[in-house]
Structure 1
Amino acid sequence: MLQVALAGAATVAAIQTGAGAQTTTASATTPSAATAAAAQARARADAIVARMTQDEKLLLVHGLFPPMAAGKSANELIPSAGHIDGIPRLGVPLVRESDASLGVANQVEQRKGDVATALPSSLATAASFDPRIARAGGAMIGSEARAKRFNVLLAGGVNLTRDPWNGRNFEYLGEDPLLAGTLAGAHIAGVQSNRIVSTVKHLALNAQETGRMVVDARIGEAALRMSDLLAFEIAIEQGRPGSVMCAYNKVNGEWACENGHLLNDVLKRDWGYPGWVMSDWGAVHSTTRAANAGLDQQSGQELDKAPYFGAPLRAAIDQGAVSRRRLDDMVARYLTGLIQTGAYDTPVPAAATIPPYARNADVAQRAAEAGIVLLKNQGDVLPIARTARRIVVIGGNADVGVLSGGGSSQVRSVGGAPVETPLAYGGSASFARITYHASSPLAALRKALPGAQVTWLDGRNFNATVDAAKGADMAIVFATQWTTEADDVPDLRLPDHQDALIAAIAAVQPRTVAVLETGGPVLMPWIDQVPAVVEAWYPGQRGGEAIANILTGKVNPSGRLPITFPAAASQPVRPRPVGLDRLTGLDAAAAADPGAASTHALESFPVDYVEGADVGYRWYERKRMTPLFPFGHGLGYTRFAYRNPVVTGGRTLSITFDVVNTGARTGADVPQMYVAREAGGAPMRLAGFMRVTLKPGESRRITLTAEPRIVADYDVRLPGWRIDAGRYRVALGHDAADRTMVSSTTLEAATMKP
């Protein structure tokens, strides 16, 4: 039997070939070079630790939450997520931490007047299926973080979407482990190219916001390794984040931040992870258990019930409950993460500088344009024809801006917030507002269509809106769904009767376009009546311009769904948030908010992930259900064909084929390879993808090579990955449901380390 070792970055080359990474990243080094670099960083860290006093060591294993830490540091406390003092005599730098993945966050304007460039939601980045887009976004926000005197970004969200109603889905990268892990790795590498640290988070199964402080996520070992943990594993291999953030929830009965199996066995032993594990803010429940289980640093200690890694840790060490060797390892891992990323030797600047906001806005706009998905375009309603002279734009505050998601990732973008609504209740009320970025689709459309009369209605006057739509050449309806950290949406309907408004407009205007600004999938009861539907996600600081470019055809849409859109509420594994009925009033707020949770005793409740590794599109195939729009789906203003496929088996599974642009416009396509064993009837899995841009009539021959852990199953008896010898089906398609080109080949047996 063939033995294949997969340690560290051993599969980077295979992953890049299969996933279509077309640029060299900081992670694209050989496994031996990566191992050597980690060893050198650790040796240097150990030497520094050997010179420390115990007080200095303890200083580094718990961090402050600046808004609640006045007087606790002699250094300036910038209002932000976190602060850890340095040790000047040893050259250990001061660390300032900021949220997060979509830009340098400033949620409720803790830092008055401080703005930053806002990327589109992570789901939009995932929809690009392009590691280059992810890396560019990470590099941009990392540069702004350094300019603002931060050297740790709490970025790298890679939790898989298991439920479409999760309020935090927009912060993550979809439902597939290969796609999510690959793009998260590229994003992390981009952040860290600025010699600052990015985390990867939240380890693991932080899959819902309802009761997130108390929920117990239950799943089998093999299924966990083949889904959520695989996404983390790939992201860590490719991005090499300086830190891993553990989650609020329990995993199989143990708090994630004191789960020895996750932190010690999987992360540090099996994956050989050299950096440090930091807690989420308010996720620590003990001293001895957490330290011995692998937690290296308590973050934002003011949000926990006690500074567990301060005086209580000192006492535990004195009593022998936590060894001095373990304390040394905690500190050395922290220093290793700083050294490996360059943050140790590149201190934060003494004064903030102004980033190149205009240039950075272009990065955000390119990401939005690459991730906007054309879901439907019956009769080629789009792009907007030059003959459309009277266009009415309706709803969604499209006259002033575009919607953003709420919570710790909220960016106060350049240009300000034309709409900002405080919350009166809910788990996110203390740190979130319904916020729009100042990028008006209406203004952008008027600029792009100077010969047309583009009018605006907010949609509140129902009769006037329907009459205006009837009298126009085209109606463009902007529909919104605000989602946020700390609250799940109760259902997948568009709120505020927007479904009824869209249906009424479509009934009188045959050229109706629905533009959706949502945190994830929504139901579309009007889909048969509306000829064109565009999923714009939360499109970021230049979202208005990006949407206008897609609608008018200046940019050919090329986004592909990173998440399945259900046809009915009954299709997802769990049709509504688990535990929502258990938590009401103050208990609901306490379960979602760390500060509140520290003063409320809440009962833990389980969520059984019965789908196991069959997340998203795999669940639909397993249950033989047809979604509204499948994972990987996306249209454009041109057509692509795949020809002359050749499948190769043996030790490595690959498919070589021609991609041909058969239309009349330049555009980008994302060929996708899905695999499964012929025997057993298991759902097919995305094993490779590549984004390809072609001119009209142009053809390119490409090869997709399967990520071996996608082909394999995890075998707890080895333990490790096992590829069974035999026949495998290989589907080359435009989405997860496309089975028009299916081949088969034979693979040799192989095993791989965990």
Structure 2
Amino acid sequence: MHKVKVALVAGTMLALAASSIGEAREKAPASRSNAARAKARAIVAKMTLDEKIGLVHGLFPPMAAGKSTSELIPSAGHIDGIPRLGVPLVRESDASLGVANQVEQRRGDVATALPSSLATAASFSPGIARAGGAMIGAEARAKRFNVLLAGGVNLTRDPWNGRNFEYLGEDPLLAGRLGGAHIAGVQSNNIVSTVKHFALNSQETGRTILDARIDEKSLRMSDLLAFELAIEDGRPGSVMCAYNKINGDWACENRFLMTDVLKRDWNYPGFVMSDWGAVHSTEKAALAGLDNESGQELDKAIYFAEPLKAAVEAGTVPMARLDDMVVRYLTGLIETGAWDHPVPAAAETPDYAAHAQVAQRAAEAGIVLLKNEGNLLPLAATAKNIVVIGGAADLGVLSGGGSSQVRSVGGAPIEIPLSTGGSASFARITYHASSPLKALQAALPGARVTFLDGRNLNATTEAAKAADMAIVFATQWTTEADDVHDLRLPNHQDALISAVAAVQPKTVAVLETGGPVTMPWLDKVPAVLEAWYPGQRGGEAIANILTGKVNPSGRLPITFPVAEAQAPRPFPVGLDTLTAEQRQAAADPGAASKAAAEGFPVDYVEGADVGYRWYEKKAQKPLFPFGHGLSYTSFQYRNPVVKGGAKLTVSFDVVNTGAVAGADVPQMYVARDGSGAPMRLAGFQRVELKPGESRRVTLTAEPRVVADYDTALPGWRVAAGRYKVALAHDATDRAVVLDATLRASTMKP
């Protein structure tokens, strides 16, 4: 069969990974959007009313048998085209971490599984993000999909959100820039990517009925800023609105979000699609700005078919609004190239070997060395008897659950169905077939590397005591539709790590988690590695980091608290208080009930001070701060020079003062002097250096991070005055703090 591959070779990947944030941006010129919209308008002018209606609602193929004369590929979505006008058929796939095939509805269809988005975020590399997007976009095209439901940039407000692993951390600048790069990578294949979930889809407990409450200024300076940056850099063909309410209105009926912010303030030209089962009305949703009802069979009614046609005919939804819905849909297809570059008529075989390297590179760049007391890592050549314990490390690596689940190349050595929970119908506890044990054995042919599953504690501690070193793998499975109840490692794994560390002073803990976990054993364990969900080549990536073949370079995109009580909310809101009726309404997005209509409030008291900003504001010391990550070499910042005026920059030399090559991530944090506000990440750059090498780097502060949002202006306002600039290794590093003066300025919303 014909082979297709990502248009990236190893050298290009390395260049992308080292690229600056500015180089990673690829904004389409306004003329391109204008030309696409003009073409779309001309096509819509030739359509009948029924043809227009047919393009603003889509099928959910698993429940839509017989509803289309075209082939229905088991997947997320399907919208028939209009052959007489050249409008292409659209097939949509879930795609956060690869072309998804959750419960193998497409029997035997595999795809390359990227590591979790948190791992990509930990790379602090737009190049890594773009390469991952380009890879999954290429595979989607080969499998005949032309819309990917990728591009998740929801900020981590709560450490136990079941979908944290799908998103890009807690900072709007990091999430926005990497999200935009990922989207641009997907769309480089002439297919559409979404950006999602717009907005404040920040917990899974009661996600379809909760009301997220926050003031406009705070929302603009946090979650909306992440979306704004991602849309600017990635130019996604579609935006997906969320399940939840925001300040009283459903996200997919929220005029403030969809029309006032997205389409008016940001001049977004593409279309807004609903999340699956997130539509609650016809007229209100259409007039608020929703352009496409997705997965219609999951809604209580098919609102954008006959009911919308009747509303247009009655004049309660103007024909001009329907035309705009269709024009935006077509603009998304035209501007991304999906219109002019049809997917193949028959499925093609991706170059899975090349794509596996993309996944492995992302995992290696995102693994974070949290602790390395006494330089225990990389594994010493003198270690001849190593015992690997737990985490099913003999078989593979864990992946997160839900709509992002990829049936990876190589198969699933472990797959456990669920009988309870919000994700039971579409998720399984699944491992990718990439064994860290086998990878370590291959990397250390002169050592004896054995495995114990850890279930027999006596046997485990005896083996650990007799070995030269113990490596304990610990896992935390998280999934869409369910939040974790607490941040402890489940199934007594904390006790296992403590027991091993008590008898073996050279113990390494390797964590495969969906986000932060508490570590009551930390003082006893000299080395800790956060591997996240490392994807289908995770075993090889972990082995390369442990053995020093690859120098760890990941930095935390999310704060690790000492305890749950440090977070703004000490547990998921509603987890233990929802009524039976509310739980039923939350489990069934299309349910018609008082509980669904009323929902329950979630007050985001932290406002714009998300993550590390909350910790600084409350003077709390985390277990590990945002931006933290160790290396097998060392870096210094020398000769810093800060400049103000119209913009804020800091230039400095980054020097690799160690003995091995490595990558560093200098971070620029900013706050107006005397404001009392927490410092904000305003710039960053991943820099790869050889031993002894020095490079001059200039970071320019993103002006909307320096500014405050002024709802009275309306827009962004940079106050004149002095600003503190921290050149830092993490969000708590204040070793180098400089001053600069900025002139007053304003920017449009």
Aligned equivalent of 1:156: 151
2:532 is the counterpart of 1:537: yes
Query: Which residue of the other structure, out of 564, 570, 573, is the alignment partner of 2:565?
Result: 570
Q: 1:470 aligns with which of 465, 469, 474?
A: 465
Listed as ranges, the matches of 1:560-709 within 5 Å are 560-583=555-578, 587-588=582-583, 590-594=585-589, 597=591, 601-602=595-596, 603-709=598-704
Alignment partners' CA distance in 2, 1:523 and 1:258: 38
Determine which of 177, 185, 194 is the counterpart of 2:189: 194
Return the match for 1:749 from 727, 731, 744: 744
2:87 to 76, 84, 92: 92
Q: How many residues align?
A: 733
Cα-to-partner distance string for 1:707-738 (whole Å, 9 max, x where unaligned) = 00000000000000000000000000000000
- For 1:288, the aligned partner's letter is E
**Shift in alpha-carbon separation, 1:548–1:590, aligned structure 2, 3 A:** farther
**RMSD of aligned alpha carbons:** 1.4
From 242, 253, 260, the counterpart of 2:248: 253
- Pick aligned residue for 1:267 from 255, 262, 274: 262
Q: Are the aligned partners of 1:137 and 1:367 in contact in 2 as well (CA < 8 Å)?
A: yes
Give 3-state SS (helix, strand or coil) of 1:630's partner: coil
Counterpart CA distance in 2 for 1:571 and 1:630 is: 13
- With over 3 angstroms needed to count, the CA separation of the structure-2 counterparts of 1:22 and 1:661, relative to structure 1, is farther
Shift of 1:583: 2.8
The code of the aligned residue for 1:46 comes to R
Alpha carbons of structure 1 residues 600 and 474: separation in structure 2 relative to 1, 3 Å:
farther
- State the match for 1:20 in structure 2: 20
Q: 1:218 to 1:338 in 2, by over 3 A?
A: same
- For 2:129, the aligned partner's letter is A
Cα deviation, residue 20, structure 1: 2.6
Q: Which runs of 5+ in 2 are unaligned?
A: 1-15
Aligned residue number for residue 487 of structure 2: 492
Report if aligned partners of 1:427, 1:593 keep a CA contact under 8 Å in 2: no
1:554 maps to which of 549, 569, 586: 549
Amino acid at match of 2:692: G
Q: Corresponding residue for 1:740?
A: 735
User: Would you say the 8 A contact 2:27–2:235 is kept in 1?
Assistant: no
Q: Does the CA contact (< 8 Å) of 2:17 and 2:127 recur in 1?
A: no
Alignment of 1:72 with 2:67, yes or no, is yes
Give the corresponding residue for 2:9. none
**Per-residue deviation at 1:601?**
4.7
CA distance in 2, matches of 1:28, 1:329: 23
Partner of 1:332: 327
Are the equivalent residues in 1 in contact too, given 2:209–2:585 (CA < 8 A)?
Answer: no
Q: CA deviation at 1:413?
A: 0.1
SS of 2:459's partner is helix
Q: How does 1:196-595 map to 2 (within 5 A)?
A: 196-583=191-578, 587-588=582-583, 590-594=585-589
CA distance in 1, matches of 2:588, 2:697: 48
Tell me the distance in 1 between the aligned counterparts of 2:663 and 2:281: 51
| Cα distance in 2, alignment partners of residues 607 and 22 from structure 1 | 36
The alpha-carbon deviation at position 220 of structure 1 amounts to 0.4
Task: Flag the 1:398–1:598 CA change in 2: closer, same or farther, 3 A.
Answer: farther
Specify whether residues 96 and 737 from structure 1 end up closer, same or farther in structure 2 by C-alpha distance, changes over 3 A only. same
Cα distance change, pair 170–600 in 1 and its aligned pair in 2 (3 A): farther
Deviates more, 1:65-74 or 1:577-586: 577-586
The residue identity in structure 2 corresponding to 1:454 is: V
Residues 94, 347 of structure 1: 8 Å contact kept:
no
Give 1:593 shift: 5.0
Counterpart residue type for residue 562 of structure 1: P
Q: Secondary structure at the match of 1:162?
A: coil
Quick one: distance in 2 between partners of 1:730 and 1:693? Answer: 23
Residue equivalent to 2:6 = none
The C-alpha deviation readout for 1:430-471, integer Å capped at 9, x for no partner, is 000000000000000000000000010000001100111011
Q: For residue 332 of structure 1, give the secondary structure of its aligned residue in structure 2.
A: helix
Q: 1:182 to 1:282 in 2, by over 3 A?
A: same
The structural deviation recorded for 1:23 is 4.5
Taking structure 1 as reference, are residues 598 and 138 closer, same or farther at Cα in structure 2, changes over 3 Å only? farther
Change (3 A) 1:386 1:605: same
- CA distance in structure 2 between the partners assigned to 1:269 and 1:22 by the alignment: 25
Measured after TM superposition, the shift of residue 589 of structure 1 is: 5.8
With structure 2 as the length reference, what TM-score do the two structures score?
0.97
1:537-583 alpha-carbon deviations (Å, 9 max, x no partner): 00000000000000000000000000000011110111111011223
- Residue 165 of structure 1: SS of its match in structure 2? coil
The whole-number CA distance in structure 2 between the counterparts of 1:600 and 1:520 is: 34
Is 1:108 the counterpart of 2:140? The answer is: no
> How many angstroms does 1:588 deviate by?
3.0
SS of the residue aligned with 2:505?
Answer: coil
Cα 1:662/1:409, change in 2 over 3 Å: same
How far has the Cα of 1:349 moved from its partner? 1.3
Does the C-alpha gap of structure 1 residues 197 and 725 become closer, same or farther in structure 2, counting only changes over 3 Å?
Answer: same
Secondary structure (helix, strand or coil) at the match of 2:21 reads coil
Q: Distance in 1 between matches of 2:261 and 2:582?
A: 33
CA spacing shift, 1:547–1:240, aligned 2, 3 Å: same
Conserved in 2, the CA contact under 8 Å of 1:202 and 1:246? Answer: yes
Q: CA 1:22 to 1:709, structure 2 compared with 1: closer, same or farther past 3 Å?
A: closer
2:704 counterpart SS class: helix
Separation in structure 2 between the aligned mates of residue 647 and residue 623 of structure 1, nearest angstrom: 28
* Contact in 2 for aligned 1:209/1:592 (Cα 8 Å): no
Partner of 1:175: 170
Amino acid at match of 1:303: L
CA offset digits 1:51-88 (Å, max 9, x no partner): 00000000000000000000000000000000000000
Q: Is the 8 A contact 1:186 1:239 kept in 2?
A: yes
Are the equivalent residues in 1 in contact too, given 2:27–2:232 (CA < 8 A)? Answer: no
Distance (whole Å) between structure 2 residues aligned to residue 584 and residue 493 of structure 1: 26
Change beyond 3 A, Cα 1:128–1:472: same
1:724-735 matched pairs, under 5 angstroms? 724-735=719-730
What is the one-letter code of the residue matched to 2:405?
Q
The CA distance in 1 between the partners of 2:592 and 2:338, in whole Å, is 32
**For 2:682, what is the secondary structure of its paired residue?**
strand
Q: CA deviation at 1:17?
A: 14
Residue type of the alignment partner of 1:696: P
Q: Report the Cα distance in structure 2 between the residues aligned to 1:722 and 1:94, rounded to whole angstroms.
A: 45
User: Which residue is 1:8 aligned to?
Assistant: none
- Aligned-partner residue type, residue 693 of structure 2: E
1:581, 1:697 → 2: CA distance? 55
Amino acid at match of 2:37: R
CA positional deviation for 1:346: 1.4
Task: Quote the Cα distance in structure 1 between the aligned partners of 2:383 and 2:570.
Answer: 41
Tell me, yes or no, if the aligned pair for 1:105 and 1:410 is still in contact at 8 Å.
Answer: yes
Amino acid paired to 2:648: L
